[in-house]
């Protein structure tokens, strides 16, 4: 299958750390392959596919696994270790779409007024100002900077509307990290990530995770805010046709606001990260 | 390519959009504020969102995802992310021919719709939705009889095309047509059209008959799905 070998080189989230108990077994799927997570006596967990152990690590509050003996290193989020941040794993949302469509939607701001109306955006504030995007060859990431958007309620901790600044990183084909204005702590940035577990090419589990400076809201409130946002996104993601992400520019017409998406698609194609993508026009 | 009925005219009021299927093709049918009907491939040219989830703004259909607006000439009129930009005329939806006739919306994927002659003698009665598969509806239909005003019993003959079922009386005169519109594997909508031989009581009987068909179709659930 196109892109499967390349996809096997990456790490993927399959559970929230500490969510399994002793002896518990959890069956799930990764890249179309059945895998099992085993909770263990000494709280170590193991993951098997067809009886064989897979590499496992726990990072960013999630359990990660890979099919490769020699995987690409897990990306770095230095902010995750900063003192004072609240780390919030938000649970899982199952979405019937390509894992790549889920990441691309996360990189998109133009939909805020229409999909997250009165929360992350509102008409008539629909304009997307020019911003910078680059594919950083040295770290092999897509990076968008100087992204600005007017938001009526940017975060659980935001009161009135503000212009929010964003930086986006695509750190792996199925991992996106965003840094945004942090209302209670000017000068700092909230970190919100989307870790995507590809169940197969057209279905994924999305594990949002946040590292915030938010001292006022309860963990439950922050999680439900993020889940509400993501459920709104799901209503879009499950209605995009085709379900896989088209990489042929003839298939879908972008505009200037889509520069991040254009770079993301180009970067995927160039790197052969085409699991979940359509490489030819249909 | 056949012409397919995609719904009854009165199910699509002005400023509304609805999904439909023609063969394997997902389409969006919508009516502008001034009454113009369009049928498009159900896929926004921008990022593939189903246009049937959009909303009508005057003479345009706005996509739900990023609000791009497309006019009755199928061309993109407005991109909210760039309010000052005049969208290139090359950005347009994939449009099909749609004709409104005999109270039915007909779509052809290529060329002019050819409306089967028999429909000239039929008028819309009502639509009904079923929460079950097409097969369940068909088998319930085959087991449920409908009596005409003159006492004759109608039977369902073979499907005329993949979504039109005709009920004839013994003289082979079409008395009732059932147009199926499949929206998913577990959901079917049927539109009923009758000839002019039915009295008001007869039309009420048709309405009760299709509700009986629905009750029977929806309990035709395979054993492994039945909740005992
Ligand atoms: S997908 Fe329709 S406006 Fe973007
Ligand atoms: Fe969103």
Confidence check: pLDDT of B52 > 70: yes
- Assigned token pair, B215: 């009750």
Lowest mean pLDDT among A228-242, B16-30, B82-96: B16-30
Q: Locate tokens 């993109």: which residue?
A: B76
pLDDT digits (tens, 9 = 90+) for A136-182: 999 999 999 999 999 887 666 666 778 899 999 999 999 999 999 88
Whole-prediction pTM: 0.90
Q: Comparing C-alpha atoms, which of B36, B46, B42 is closest to residue B54?
A: B42
Greatest CA separation for chain B: 67
B185 touches chain A (CB under 8 A): no
**All domains in chain A, ordered by first residue:** 4-65 (2.20.25.680), 83-278 (3.30.530.20)
Name the DSSP class of A160. S
Q: Does B86 touch chain A (CB under 8 A)?
A: no
Contacts of A236 in chain B (CB under 8 A): 49, 64-65
The CA-CA-CA angle for residues B60, B61, B62, to 5°, reads: 115
Would you tell me how many other CB atoms lie within 10 Å of the CB of residue B150? 8
Residue B194: what pLDDT? 92
Question: Mean pLDDT across the stretch A47-62?
Answer: 95
Whether pLDDT at A39 is above 90: no
Name chain A contacts of B50, Cβ cutoff 8 Å.
239-241
Percent of chain A at pLDDT > 90 equals: 79
B81 closest CB neighbour out of A128, A241, A246: A128
Chain A residues whose CB is inside 8 A of the B80 CB are: 110, 113-114, 123, 126-127
Average pLDDT over residues A223-228: 92
Q: Which of A188, A163, A186, A190 is nearest to A178 (CA)?
A: A190
Query: Phi-psi category of B134—alpha, beta or left, where left has phi over 0 and alpha has psi -120 to 50?
Result: alpha
Q: Mean pLDDT, to the nearest integer, of A114-134?
A: 95
**How far does the centroid of ligand 2 lie from the alpha carbon of residue A112, in Å?**
6
Q: What is the distance between the terminal CA atoms of chain B, rounded to a whole angstrom?
A: 45
Mean pLDDT calculated for residue range A46-64: 95
Mean pLDDT of B83-107: 94
Q: Ligand 1 pocket check: which of B28, B55, B63 to mutate, most ligand atoms within 8 Å of Cβ?
A: B63
pLDDT of residue B223: 47
Of A110, A235, A256, the CB nearest to B66: A110
If we measure between CA atoms, which residue out of A144, A139, A127 comes closest to residue A259? Answer: A144
**Is B75 buried (19+), middle (13-18) or exposed (0-12) by CB count in 10 A?**
middle
Q: Rounded to whole angstroms, how far apart are CA atoms A45 and A40? A: 5
Burial class (CB in 10 A: 0-12, 13-18, 19+), B131: exposed
Name the band, by pLDDT with cuts 50, 70 and 90, for residue B228.
very low
Q: What share of chain B is helix, strand, coil (3-state, %, to 5)?
A: 20, 40, 40
Q: How would you class A114 by CB atoms within 10 Å of its CB: exposed for 0-12, middle for 13-18, buried for 19 or more?
A: buried
């Amino acid at each position: 299958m196109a892109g499967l070998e390349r996809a096997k080189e990456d790490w993927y989230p399959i559970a929230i750390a500490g969510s399994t108990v002793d002896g518990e077994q959890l069956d799930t799927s990764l890249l179309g392959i059945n895998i099992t997570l085993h909770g263990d006596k000494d709280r170590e967990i193991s993951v098997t596919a067809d009886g064989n152990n897979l590499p496992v690590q726990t990072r960013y509050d999630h359990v990660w696994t890979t099919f490769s003996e020699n995987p690409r290193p897990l990306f770095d989020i230095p902010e995750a270790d900063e003192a004072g941040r609240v780390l919030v794993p938000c649970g899982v949302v199952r979405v019937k779409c390509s894992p790549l469509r889920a990441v691309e939607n996360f990189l998109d701001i133009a939909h805020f007024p229409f999909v997250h109306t009165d929360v992350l955006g509102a008409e008539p504030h629909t304009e997307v100002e020019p911003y910078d995007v680059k594919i950083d060859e040295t770290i092999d990431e897509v990076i968008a900077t100087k992204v600005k958007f007017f938001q009526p309620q940017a975060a659980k901790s935001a009161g009135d509307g503000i212009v929010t600044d964003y930086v986006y990183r695509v750190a792996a084909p199925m991992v996106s990290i965003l840094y945004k204005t942090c209302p209670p702590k000017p000068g700092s940035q909230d970190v919100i990530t989307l870790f995507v577990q590809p169940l197969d090419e057209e279905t994924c589990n999305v594990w949002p995770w946040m590292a915030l400076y938010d001292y006022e809201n309860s963990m439950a409130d922050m999680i439900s805010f993020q889940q509400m946002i993501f459920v709104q996104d799901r209503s879009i993601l499950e209605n995009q046709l085709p379900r896989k992400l088209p990489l042929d520019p003839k298939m879908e017409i972008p505009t200037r606001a889509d520069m991040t998406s254009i770079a993301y698609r180009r970067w995927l194609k160039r790197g052969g990260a085409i699991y979940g993508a359509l490489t030819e026009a249909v | 390519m056949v012409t397919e009925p995609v719904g009854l005219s009165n199910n699509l009021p002005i400023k509304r959009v609805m999904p439909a299927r023609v063969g394997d093709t997902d389409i969006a049918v919508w009516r502008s504020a001034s009454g113009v009907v369009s049928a498009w491939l159900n896929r926004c040219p921008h990022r593939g969102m189903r246009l049937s989830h959009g909303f009508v703004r005057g003479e345009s259909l706005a996509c739900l995802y990023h609000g791009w607006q497309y006019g009755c000439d199928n061309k993109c009129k407005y991109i909210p992310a760039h309010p000052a930009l005049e969208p290139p005329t090359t950005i347009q939806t994939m449009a099909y021919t749609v004709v409104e006739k005999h109270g039915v919306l007909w779509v052809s994927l290529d060329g002019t719709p050819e409306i089967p002659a028999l429909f000239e003698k039929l008028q819309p009665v009502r639509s009904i939705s079923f929460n079950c598969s097409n097969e369940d509806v068909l088998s319930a239909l085959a087991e449920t009889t409908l009596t005409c005003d003159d006492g004759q019993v109608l039977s369902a003959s073979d499907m005329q095309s993949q979504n039109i079922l005709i009920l004839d009386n013994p003289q082979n005169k079409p008395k009732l047509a059932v147009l199926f519109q499949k929206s998913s594997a577990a959901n079917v909508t049927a539109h009923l059209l009758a000839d002019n031989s039915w009295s008001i009581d007869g039309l009420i009987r048709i309405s009760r008959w299709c509700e009986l068909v629905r009750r029977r179709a929806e309990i035709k659930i395979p054993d492994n799905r039945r909740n005992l």
